[in-house]
Chain A
Amino acid sequence: MSTPLRIVIAKPGLDGHDRGAKVVARALRDAGHEVIYTGLRRTPEQIVRIVLDEDAGFLGLSSLSGAHAHLFPRTCELLVEAGLGNVVVFGGGIIPAPDHHELYSAGVRAIFGPGTTSSEISGFLEQANHRLGQDELVGCGGDSDWHWTGE
């Protein structure tokens, strides 16, 4: 058995909608990964602490409250400050397309909206993990300009 990926699924900010985050956590569990779910209403600082202590390589941020444009980049920034720029960050929830570009520039490597299949998220994780294996810096602080476009 290969070593499972450790993935934190987090709910930043004042947003009580966790159905999506739980479904994703469950799907990633079924794909053979170890998923740490943070619970609701965590601050970016707390999320960074969790990623650090859990030694997670991946972080999924879920937001349906419209605060993603602040919370996602802030989390990426704090990760880099904490020396965790190699952590791969992806996002999901209700995130309008016009906002995507800015999030990608902040270091988010994929954004998944309603209707995303679990196999697509797995595909992204595999692809990101593969790139990491090739020493491509796809973490939130990495200089790669790659982001998931679906395929």
Chain B
Amino acid sequence: MNISPAETLAAAVRGERLALARSLTLYENGELGGEEISALAQPASEFPVIGITGAPGVGKSCLIDHIVQAWSSAGHHVAVIAVDPTSPITGGALLGDRLRMSTADSADNVYFRSIATRRHGGSVPTVVKGMLAILRAAGWNRCIVETVGAGQGDIRVAAVAERIVLLEAPGRGDGVQAEKAGLVELADLIVVNKADLDGAEKTADEIRQALEVATIPTPTIILTSAITGEGIDEMLDSIESLEFNPHTASARTRECLRAMWEQKLLDHPDFDDLLVEVVAGNLSVEAALEKLTEIDEG
């Protein structure tokens, strides 16, 4: 009964679903190392990982359900990693993204995994990057990451996704909100959902105007309604042909480095002990950081 993590991973790559589920857990819990993941053969040309992000309640899960339905009926192997927040107090999490995605519960060519942010900051934990590598190596050729509700300053999705779809919805503030810098600048596609509600056109116009004066090429804006189905086909077509945007490459790479650095800090064996010391007042935050970032010469 005792199968090693490496054997489990090998079985996952061979296509065993149970082993895949187990491998993702092993990697998330740190029982499968980064080296084993890097060693996985990745398919040569791969559809980019699509990150779906946006404020809480704009309709991320409902729109993903539409994408999953379309892709799975087209015969693709669709994997979704959906992230919900971990309580910073208890460490627990309520993962409720699948309840709006019943497609995920039946089709054999759909794999849906809910994960919690655990100790990581931002809307997506860095561990998702390795989980995606496992899924791809196991033949899941269309991958979607749904972030925790995020907006404005939280660009962590750029560290794990290769294309970013930003969701908006009407009634979330005046035009100045759209003028603010941040996540909106990294989006490869902007979708204004809830087009069945009043004000959706106005929201789209405000974003359009805000982006008009940008000096770099700006993303397409599409109006959709997850309820009526309006705009869904247009959105699907658009996702099909999202191009790599060289203007955001540097910002994305920076976010990736930042995320991996944070992961390294959190994975430090003394992290929890130092945390206790700081909380008890025996150590300053600065001194704790000093200890965590000391270069190990040994």
Contacts and interface: CB of A to CB of B under 8 A. Distances in A.
A30 interface: yes
B105 A46 contact: yes
Contact of B106 (A28, A35, A40, A45): A45
A146 interface: no
Interface in B130-146: none
B22 interface: yes
A46 B106 contact: yes
Interface string A19-52: 0000001101111111111111010011001101
A19 to B, nearest CB: 15
Interface in A50-104: 50, 52-55, 82-84
B105 A3 contact: no
SS class, residues of chain B in contact with chain A:
mixed
A31 B92 contact: yes
A29 B22 contact: no
Contacts of B102: 39, 46
Interface residues of B, number: 30
Contacts of B112: 53
Given A45-B106, A46-B105, A55-B25, A28 B99 contact: no
Contacts, number: 80
A137 B76 CA distance: 38
A4 interface: yes
B93 A39 contact: no
A28 B22 contact: no
Interface string B281-292: 000000000000
A29 B24 contact: no
B257 interface: no
Given A37-B99, A39-B100, A46-B106, A53 B92 contact: no
B119 A1 contact: yes
B22 A55 contact: yes
B24 A55 contact: yes
B90 A35 contact: no
Given A1-B119, A53-B112, A53-B113, A35 B105 contact: no
B114 A4 contact: no
With most chain A CB atoms within 10 A of its CB, the pick from B92, B105, B114 is B92
A30 B99 contact: no
B272 A1 contact: yes
26 contacts: A1-B91, A1-B272, A3-B29, A4-B91, A25-B94, A30-B90, A31-B90, A34-B95, A35-B92, A35-B94, A37-B96, A37-B99, A39-B100, A39-B102, A45-B106, A46-B105, A46-B106, A52-B17, A53-B17, A53-B21, A53-B104, A53-B111, A53-B112, A55-B21, A55-B22, A55-B24
Interface of B: 17-18, 21-22, 24-25, 29, 86-87, 90-96, 98-100, 102, 104-106, 111-114, 116, 119, 272
In the A-B complex, list the 5 residue pairs whose CB atoms are closest, starting with the nearest.
A39-B99, A46-B105, A55-B21, A29-B92, A55-B25
